[in-house]
Every structure is written in C-alpha cells, then in structure tokens.
Amino acid sequence: MSAGAKISNLHRLPHEIQNQNLPDYVYQVLLEAILANVLVPGERLLIDDIARHFGISKIPVREAVKSLEAAGWLDSRPRRGTYVRPLSRSELEEVFEMRRILEPYSARLAAQRRTEAHLAELRELVAAGNRSIKQRDLVENSRVNGRFHMLIAEAVGNKLLADTLKDLQLRVRRYYANLDWRTRSESFGEHQRIYEAIRDRDAKRAERLTSEHVEHTWALAARKIALQPSSAA
C-alpha cells in the first residue's frame, strides 16, 4: 500500500478459502464485510491487496469486484480506484419507498397463506433474536433479523416478491450495523408482535404492525445517515 494511504480493514476478513468457486467465495466474504461495516463506506479496495490477503491470483478477485460493482456495492472511479459505496440518503429513501409498499402487503398475505412450517421457523427466529441480544452476538442478530423478514416474504409464495425483498433487506442492512442493543431489543419486540399476528391469521393486524415497524426502522436509519454529512446526497 502506498505511503499516506488509509489503513485497510482487509485484515479483519477471514483468510481461509471455504469454497472451490473462488470468485463466488471472495464476492460473499467482501459483501458480508460491507454489510457489517467491516469494510467501511468510502474505503478503497485494491485488487493486489485482496488477492494477497486470500493467497490467490488476481483473476477471481477481479471477477468478484466487478460483480460487486455491477450489483451496486462498489464504485469504480477512473484513475482513482475502487471504493465501498458510501451510505446515501437518496438510496435509503428509494429502499424505504419500496419497503413501505411491499412489506406490509407481504405480511398481510403471509398471515393468510403461511404454513405450520413457516410458523415454526418464525417462532424460532424470534427466540433466536432474543438470544442474540442477550449474548450481544451482532453477526447472529443481523442474520436472524434478515431471515425473519425474508421468511415472511417466502410465506407469500411469490418468488419475484421474495427476491425483491431480499435485495432490499441487503441494501438496508449496513445502515443498522452500529445500532445499540436497546434499540435492537425494541425492534425484536416488534418482530414478536408481527409473528403473533401471522400466527393468528390476523391479516390486517400483521399489515399494520409491519407498516409501523418499517416506519420505526426508517427513523433509525435516517438518524444514522443524518450524522454522516460526508455521505452522498
């Protein structure tokens, strides 16, 4: 790394290769690091450094970086390099416009269409979320939160809807990476009430509670982006 360059957080990523598909493995590790704010918004990523970190050639790294750029996680700037895309108020507003429409609708249909298997997994996710809060396990807490919302979408039985909501959940995740545990506990309390409405097949209540939950999470994310004046408009 050149003199005067910012210290990279690559050293915080796992080194071991756990997948024979190298581009896919590097993509997944880098994406998870971006979502968890291990690789922070605006951080520069160098192909040579990434390849050296994993002990692999630059070819699969280039493929992974190109895929991350195409998916909107990285920005490449001519003659300046590749950077983790900054947090953006405009991106956040676009994501939440979609969430406000799709998630309450999804919860209403899930209350009508869910199976006992869906219900059992939702119940376990609520319990797992509470355990992760008690154990202060950020990785598990983030995983459970995302899976809870995704399972509701899957319970609808509409693959296009589920795929769209999966992308929205990924895009909003890094805006919550630094939430305090009291706030996380409040959020999972809302999950409990949404689960109960779906369990009771109360479609209107599930829709209303999910709408309230989306507005609560919007307020948290908007507060975070407001504290970062350097973020993209």
For 29-39, how does the pLDDT look when each residue is reduced to its tens digit (9 = 90+)?
999 899 888 89
Q: State both tokens at 41.
A: 């918004």
Cβ pair 65, 45 in contact under 8 A: yes
Are both 96 and 76 inside the same structural domain? no
Q: Does residue 13 belong to any structural domain of this protein?
A: no
Same domain, 190 and 216: yes
pLDDT at 7: 66
Percent of the chain clearing pLDDT 90 (strictly above): 63
The pLDDT of residue 230 is above 60: no
Please report whether residue 119 resides in a domain.
yes
- φ, ψ of residue 66 to 5 degrees: the values are -60, -40
Can you tell me the mean pLDDT for 212-232?
76
Residue 12 counted as domain residue? no
Per-residue confidence (pLDDT) for residue 185, from 0 to 100: 87
Residue of 227, 102, 233, 210 whose CA lies nearest to 163: 102
pTM (2 decimals)? Answer: 0.80
Last residue of a domain, one of 84, 104, 119: 84
Query: From CA 66, how far away is CA 74, in angstroms rounded?
Result: 9
> Residue 106's domain spans which residues?
89-226
Q: For residue range 69-105, what is the model confidence (pLDDT) as tens digits?
A: 999 999 998 878 899 999 888 999 999 999 999 999 9
pLDDT at 212: 97
Is 43 in a helix, a strand, or coil?
coil
Number of independent structural domains in the chain = 2
pLDDT of 5 over the 50 cut? no
Strand order in the sheet with 74-77: 44-45, 81-84, 74-77
Residue whose entry in the numeric block shows the structure tokens 């992308």: 167
Per-residue pLDDT tens digits for 147-185: 999 999 999 999 999 999 999 988 888 888 777 888 888
Q: Are residues 79 and 95 in the same domain?
A: no
pLDDT of residue 232: 44
Last residue of a domain, one of 84, 119, 134: 84
10 assigned to some structural domain: no
pLDDT value, residue 120: 97
Angle at 46 between CA 43 and CA 47, to 5 degrees: 140
139 and 184 share a domain?
yes
Q: Which residue has the higher pLDDT, 34 or 17?
A: 34
CB 36, CB 174: distance < 8 Å: yes
Residues 116 and 53 in one domain: no
pLDDT at 137 (0 to 100) = 87
71 plus 154 within the same structural domain: no
Helices marked H in the chain: 22-35, 47-54, 58-70, 89-113, 116-134, 138-156, 159-173, 181-199, 203-226
Look at residue 6 in the predicted model and tell me its pLDDT. 61
The pLDDT, as a whole number, for residue 2 is 39
CA-to-CA distance for 53 and 50, rounded, in angstroms?
5
